[in-house]
Amino acid sequence: MIHQTLKPFPKDFLWGASTSAYQVEGASLEDGKGPSFQDTKKLPPGTADLTVSVDHYHRYKEDIALMAEMGFKAYRFSISWSRVLPDGIGKVNPKGIEFYNNLIDECLKYGIEPIITMFHFDMPAALEEKGSWSNASSSEWFKEFARVLFENYGDRVKYWLTINEQNMMTLVGPLIGTLRVPEATTNLTKEIYQQNHHQLVAQAKAMQLCHEMLPKAKIGPAPNIALAYPNSNRPEDIIAEQNANAIRNWLYLDMAVYGRYNNLVWAYLEAKDATPTFAPGDAEVLKVAKPDFIAFNYYTSFTVEASDGSEQIADKFADQQSAMSEPGYYRSVQNQNLKKTEFGWEIDPVGFRATMRALYDRYQLPLLVTENGIGAYDELTADGKVHDPYRIVYLREHIVQIKEAISDGVEMLGYNPWSAIDLISTHEGIKKRYGFIYVDRDEFDLKTLKRYRKDSFYWYKKVIATNGENLSD
């Protein structure tokens, strides 16, 4: 569909950007915070630890002021569960509550809407010891954590996200260090999908509680959605594409929205003797709970062809966006039409439009983009500048596609790319930078931690000021 003229962005469109607690805050054991999985996991060799990250905990006022200078209408950040509840359950940490009160108030002072992710890869270590998401009680732990958040922040926070990238934790979590599975696991697929089931129930309980306690608030899931393409028009490749979309994308949202397991995924789990066990009450809460919108992270699309089952498990995973095959169901292949980032992720702005269209078509709920962006080796020049034209190009090309999607009739709430400020990547350290704001630190040398405005900072400021009408340099 070629539009003669594109529709404008809605006037209350939530322009902003995202971060997550463990990737920016630091202060990993300060002011009563308990350790999380991120503080106890084995770090990928050659990458920074998370004790300081980019020191957002101590510098949030300066950081929010910079976001306000860019004109942010929203800031998406996550709450560290073990900062608020050091043991994950039970005793509340007043200093932790205070920190997020201050952060929320600082945003509101500038008219920035806080969008809160309740869980972003950082299970409290005390709950890790109890089996983490493998424990059937985990959905109740999460519900109680949600209650603490709604009680303390519900008077000011309108937008809530349940679990960040649950699908990526399930598909690549143990490899990129965002999820742990017990060592004694005999059927890995079963174990992981049981954890996934507990997360789905946890999410449903949180959505239900949110609607009970905060009737004016809105809540939704936040998976990483990359539409799968077939590599050719071979009918077998179409079947592979359907398998890939079901396993990678639809499972998570079909459950959140319709309260049912996707039938292709259920068949896949049956074949692997890996269907999850339902506890009493699970089916009911999954059926009843509903999201108000769909938040999603998009970095690129995903191309697959038929699999003969011969792929090696070793090449099954690389990371969130690169190779990911499922032997017998689909084989991941490179898309020859697309360029790649310096870190090997394909770049597909048109795939972003296709993904928005598919999501809206399938679920008919408003969409909120909670991540999108380019990881790169940015360089600070001697005169304190960061020239990142590649980031401007990447973001511009994706924003144009949101306009296309809006013109296609897709309801869009906002755009919050990754990331507001440089932060520690999931498994590739601080050298892989995403922010509009540069932070002066290296992998192992904390340097000054001073903030610098990148070229993309000034560009995004203009984009927001014109509500997405002026995307030029």
Q: Which residues are catalytic?
A: 371
- Choose which of 53, 132, 297, 416 interacts with ligand BG6 (CB under 6 A): 297
Handedness of CA 351, 362, 16, 405 (dihedral sign): positive
Window of 192-200, 276-284, 330-338, 423-431 that interacts with ligand BG6 by CB under 6 A: 423-431
Q: Tell me how far apart the alpha carbons of residues 383 and 92 are, in angstroms, rounded to a whole number.
A: 46
Answer yes or no whether residue 456 interacts with ligand BG6 by CB under 6 A: no
Answer yes or no whether residue 418 interacts with ligand BG6 by CB under 6 A: yes
CB of 417 to ligand BG6, least distance (A): 11
The two three-digit tokens of residue 115, written as one number: 């969008």
**Residue whose pair of structure tokens reads 């569909």 in the numeric block:** 1
Answer yes or no whether residue 157 interacts with ligand BG6 by CB under 6 A: no
Answer yes or no whether residue 425 interacts with ligand BG6 by CB under 6 A: yes
CB of 211 to ligand BG6, least distance (A): 25
Inter-residue contact 47 to 429 (CB < 8 Å):
yes
For the chain, the C-alpha Rg in angstroms (whole number) is 21
Answer yes or no whether residue 427 interacts with ligand BG6 by CB under 6 A: yes
In the bound state with ligand BG6, the residue whose beta carbon lies nearer, of 97 and 424, is: 424
In the bound state with ligand BG6, the residue whose beta carbon lies nearer, of 52 and 285, is: 52
Q: Tell me how far apart the alpha carbons of residues 133 and 92 are, in angstroms, rounded to a whole number.
A: 21
Answer yes or no whether residue 428 interacts with ligand BG6 by CB under 6 A: yes
The side-by-side arrangement of strands in the sheet containing 159-164 is 218-222, 159-164, 113-119, 74-78, 14-18, 412-415, 367-371, 294-297
- Choose which of 14, 20, 99, 205 interacts with ligand BG6 (CB under 6 A): 20
- Choose which of 214, 426, 452, 468 interacts with ligand BG6 (CB under 6 A): 426
Answer yes or no whether residue 422 interacts with ligand BG6 by CB under 6 A: no
CB of 111 to ligand BG6, least distance (A): 26
How many residues touch ligand BG6 (CB under 6 A)?
17
The two three-digit tokens of residue 302, written as one number: 């995903």
Answer yes or no whether residue 320 interacts with ligand BG6 by CB under 6 A: yes
CB of 333 to ligand BG6, least distance (A): 21
**What are the phi and psi torsion angles at 421 (to 5°)?**
-140, 155
User: Going residue by residue from 109 to 148, which x/- string records binding to ligand BG6, judged by CB under 6 A?
Assistant: ----------------------------------------
Q: Tell me how far apart the alpha carbons of residues 437 and 450 are, in angstroms, rounded to a whole number.
A: 10
Q: Tell me how far apart the alpha carbons of residues 307 and 326 are, in angstroms, rounded to a whole number.
A: 8
CB of 370 to ligand BG6, least distance (A): 8
From residue 85, give the alpha-carbon distance in Å to each of 88, 158, 184, 407, 437. 5, 22, 28, 44, 30
Window of 128-136, 398-406, 419-427, 453-461 that interacts with ligand BG6 by CB under 6 A: 419-427
Answer yes or no whether residue 54 interacts with ligand BG6 by CB under 6 A: no
In the bound state with ligand BG6, the residue whose beta carbon lies nearer, of 224 and 355, is: 224
Answer yes or no whether residue 77 interacts with ligand BG6 by CB under 6 A: no
SS3 37: helix
Window of 125-133, 162-170, 274-282, 461-469 that interacts with ligand BG6 by CB under 6 A: 162-170
In the bound state with ligand BG6, the residue whose beta carbon lies nearer, of 22 and 60, is: 22
Window of 68-76, 103-111, 164-172, 437-445 that interacts with ligand BG6 by CB under 6 A: 164-172
Answer yes or no whether residue 432 interacts with ligand BG6 by CB under 6 A: yes
**Residue whose pair of structure tokens reads 């499922």 in the numeric block:** 326
* Residue facing ligand BG6 at closest CB distance: 425
Answer yes or no whether residue 93 interacts with ligand BG6 by CB under 6 A: no
Render the burial of 254-289: b for 16+ CB within 10 Å, e for the rest.
bbbbebebbebbeebbeeeebbbeeeeebeebbeeb
SS3 220: strand
In the bound state with ligand BG6, the residue whose beta carbon lies nearer, of 73 and 432, is: 432
In the bound state with ligand BG6, the residue whose beta carbon lies nearer, of 16 and 230, is: 16
The two three-digit tokens of residue 30, written as one number: 């300060």
Answer yes or no whether residue 166 interacts with ligand BG6 by CB under 6 A: no
Inter-residue contact 16 to 472 (CB < 8 Å):
no
Inter-residue contact 60 to 77 (CB < 8 Å):
no
Of 222, 99, 178, 74, the C-alpha closest to 425 is 178
Single-letter residue type at 11: K
Q: Tell me how far apart the alpha carbons of residues 209 and 423 are, in angstroms, rounded to a whole number.
A: 32
Answer yes or no whether residue 96 interacts with ligand BG6 by CB under 6 A: no
The two three-digit tokens of residue 21, written as one number: 């607690």
- For 131: left if phi > 0, alpha if psi spans -120 to 50, otherwise beta; the answer is left
CB of 119 to ligand BG6, least distance (A): 11
- Choose which of 168, 246, 347, 413 interacts with ligand BG6 (CB under 6 A): 168
SS3 247: helix
Q: Tell me how far apart the alpha carbons of residues 330 and 307 are, in angstroms, rounded to a whole number.
A: 5
Counted residue by residue, the chain has a size of 473
> Which residues of this protein are in contact with ligand BG6, per CB under 6 A?
20, 23, 164-165, 168, 224, 297, 319-320, 371, 375, 418, 425-428, 432
